Structure 1
Amino acid sequence: MKITPTFPELSCYLLPGHTTTPAEAIEEAKQAEALGLGKVWLSERFDVKDAGVICAAALAVTNCIHVATAGTNIHTRHLMILATMCSSLHHLSNGRFELGLARGVAIRNQLMGLKNVNNAQLAEGVELLRRLLKGEKIIGHDGLMGNYPYLNMGDWLDARLPIHFVGFGPKSLRFAGKHFDGVHLHTFVTDHGLRRAKQFIQEGAEQAGRPTSDIKLHAVYATALNLTEEDYLTKLVARMATYMQAPGYIEMLIELNEWDPEVLTAFRANDLVKSMAGGIDSVATLEQLDQISQLIPSEWLPAATGNAESCAQAWQNQFANGADGLVIHGSTPSEFAPIIQAYAALPR
Structure 2
Amino acid sequence: MATHPGRPAYPELGCYGLAGHTDRPGDLIGEVRRAEELGLGAIFLSERFNYKDAAVLSGMAAAAGTTLGIATAATNHNTRHPLVTATMAATMHRATGGRFALGLGRGFAPLFDLMGVPPITNAQLADAFAVLRRLWAGEKFAHSGPIGDYPFLMPLGDLAETIPLLMVAIGPKSQALAGRIADAVVLHTYLTDEAVARAVAIIREAAEQAGRDPATVRIWACTAVVDDALDEPTRLRMTVGRLATYLQGYGDTLVAANRWDPELLRRFRADPFVSGFGGAFDAVGTVDDLARLTATVLPAEWLGAAITGSAADCARQIDHQFAATGVDSIIMHGVTPDQLAGVVAGYAAVRSAGHDRLPANPGWTR
One fold, TM greater than 0.5? yes
Summarize deviations over 1:75-107 as a string: whole Å, max 9, x none.
111111111111111122121111110021111
Task: Say whether 1:345 aligns with 2:349.
Answer: yes
d(CA) in 2 for partners of 1:250 and 1:53? Answer: 30
> Superposition pairs for residues 93-132 of structure 1, below 5 Å?
93-132=96-135
d(CA) in 2 for partners of 1:186 and 1:157? Answer: 33
Task: Say whether 1:327 aligns with 2:331.
Answer: yes
DSSP-derived class of the 1:9 partner? strand
d(CA) in 2 for partners of 1:116 and 1:36? Answer: 38
What TM-score does the superposition give when structure 1 sets the normalisation length?
0.96
Distance 1:116 1:289, change over 3 A: same
**What corresponds to 2:298 in structure 1?**
296
Summarize deviations over 1:275-332 as a string: whole Å, max 9, x none.
2222221222221111122311122122222112101011112211211001011111
Would you identify which runs of 4 or more consecutive aligned residues in structure 1 move more than 4 Å?
none
> Superposition pairs for residues 38-57 of structure 1, below 5 Å?
38-57=41-60
**What corresponds to 1:251 in structure 2?**
252
**What corresponds to 1:185 in structure 2?**
187
d(CA) in 1 for partners of 2:103 and 2:330? Answer: 15
Cα pair 2:247 2:254 within 8 Å, conserved: no
Letter in 2 for 1:283: V
Letter in 2 for 1:333: P
What's the offset of the Cα at 1:347?
Answer: 5.0
Identity of counterpart residues, as a percentage?
43
d(CA) in 2 for partners of 1:309 and 1:195? Answer: 24
Cα pair 1:222 1:330 within 8 Å, conserved: yes
Residue in structure 1 matching 2:167, options 154, 165, 168: 165
d(CA) in 2 for partners of 1:266 and 1:204? Answer: 35
Cα pair 2:183 2:216 within 8 Å, conserved: yes
Cα pair 1:79 1:125 within 8 Å, conserved: yes
**What corresponds to 1:283 in structure 2?**
284
What's the offset of the Cα at 1:116?
Answer: 1.3
Residue in structure 1 matching 2:65, options 62, 66, 70: 62
What's the offset of the Cα at 1:272?
Answer: 1.2
DSSP-derived class of the 1:177 partner? helix
> Superposition pairs for residues 308-327 of structure 1, below 5 Å?
308-320=311-323, 321-327=325-331
Summarize deviations over 1:110-138 as a string: whole Å, max 9, x none.
11111112111110111001111121112
d(CA) in 1 for partners of 2:350 and 2:107? Answer: 38
For this pair of structures, how many residues does the alignment match? 344
Letter in 2 for 1:97: F
> Superposition pairs for residues 141-220 of structure 1, below 5 Å?
141-154=143-156, 156-220=158-222
**What corresponds to 2:89 in structure 1?**
86
What's the offset of the Cα at 1:195?
Answer: 0.7
d(CA) in 1 for partners of 2:333 and 2:34? Answer: 15
d(CA) in 2 for partners of 1:77 and 1:303? Answer: 34
Cα pair 2:38 2:344 within 8 Å, conserved: yes
> How large is the RMSD of aligned CA atoms in angstroms?
1.4
d(CA) in 1 for partners of 2:89 and 2:301? Answer: 38
Cα pair 1:41 1:70 within 8 Å, conserved: yes
Cα pair 2:16 2:44 within 8 Å, conserved: yes
Task: Say whether 1:13 aligns with 2:16.
Answer: yes
DSSP-derived class of the 1:253 partner? helix
d(CA) in 2 for partners of 1:47 and 1:347? Answer: 38
What's the offset of the Cα at 1:232?
Answer: 3.3
DSSP-derived class of the 1:72 partner? coil
Distance 1:138 1:170, change over 3 A: same
DSSP-derived class of the 2:14 partner? strand
d(CA) in 2 for partners of 1:40 and 1:220? Answer: 12
d(CA) in 1 for partners of 2:235 and 2:264? Answer: 19
d(CA) in 2 for partners of 1:191 and 1:111? Answer: 35
Summarize deviations over 1:56-77 as a string: whole Å, max 9, x none.
0011011011111110011111
Letter in 2 for 1:331: V
DSSP-derived class of the 1:156 partner? coil
DSSP-derived class of the 1:296 partner? coil
DSSP-derived class of the 2:130 partner? helix
DSSP-derived class of the 2:332 partner? strand
DSSP-derived class of the 2:160 partner? coil
